[in-house]
Structure 1
Amino acid sequence: MREQSRERILVAALEVFAEKGYQGATVSEITTRAGVSRGLLNYYFPGKHQLVDELLARYLDGVVELVMVDGGPDERLAAIIDRVLLAAVTTAGVQRMTLSLVLGPATHPLFAAAEARKEERVAALEDALRSLFAERGAADPALEEVLLRSVLEGVIFKIAVYAGQYPVERIRRRLYALYGLGEPVGSLTGSDPPPVGRMRAASATEAGPADTP
């Protein structure tokens, strides 16, 4: 029961932060959304700072898990691309919230602190990707790791902002071709939207509520 209450609080906080931003969100809104008392929220999280801290720590843990796969280097790279794309599509609301917290002037220091506490796991992520590219014969595995993460993080950003307009399957095929992985097997999301030439962000009401973890 305690763990369920804690999870309800985190889900509610995620939704409220996504809708109102860190500065605009209030503890009262979060407790109302979660259906818990303020005393219970304070028992787990004394304030908004601690809620954001937990959400960002979970985000970093999730990113690390996405790259920890088995198989040969090409199999691992294909699996990482697929897992990142699928996670971005199915948790677009989470990504929007996290981006706002990572980039926001008031919350970026909290992200930096969470990243520092997760140093071992973040380094393990970097090392796993660098090892993968070393096995593929890259001249500079560290640079390839930075490039891959930059590309995938850019895709995550675009999916978070443009949601159903984003051509996930076509981008997936392009990434496979970029890294010489052949044709992807199956589909992650079904058919892509038809190409329209330009994507435009939807309003908050059109985008709908944030996805829950």
Structure 2
Amino acid sequence: MTTDQNEQLSSRDKVLLAALQMIGENPGAKLSVRAVAARAGVSTGSLRYHFPTQRELQDEVLTRLYDVVISEDRIHDRTVPARDRLVDCLRQVLAPAGVGAGAREASRIVHEQFIAPEPTEQVKQAYAALEREGRRRVEYWLTVLTDEGALTAGDTSRRARFLLTVLNGLALERALPSEGSILEAENDTLYMAVDAVLGSEAS
């Protein structure tokens, strides 16, 4: 984006662009109000006007990122069985990190940003924002399947938490040495997890 184009953006869009750039450069960036405002070239007051809390800013940025990385269209394609659609959606969550070197780098960043440091309030809030947006997406997919009758009504939040736990384990496996095909084993695990959630209602 050129300087002229950046000048034409609203202050809200400047804040979002700056925050997205910071996340792009460092996926574990904490998005502090001062740092984002400085990067955006706006006052902290202007940032607070659009995003009164750091949580609101983090949630909006992560929503935008997920919108780019994860397509919501797939879950609505009823020409494909429900279990395949849900597996495909979950696979999209894993895709950005890649396998091998990419997955190791992603794991390193997660470790440095959220595991190694003391769990300060800022670290907790940054991780909670990531987890919240991921859970929201998975709950949405499950709700779509429930509404169409492919999944019996139940505790959507609990089911989403289970699937996200499986995804966390698979993301770590992608970073670890493996003798066989990581993606083949991953596929088996995803289908097993989805079948456990869908139960006898899979279609």
TM-score for the superposition, normalised by structure 1: 0.47
TM-score for the superposition, normalised by structure 2: 0.49
Structure ranking higher on relative contact order (CA contacts 8 Å, 6+ apart) = 1
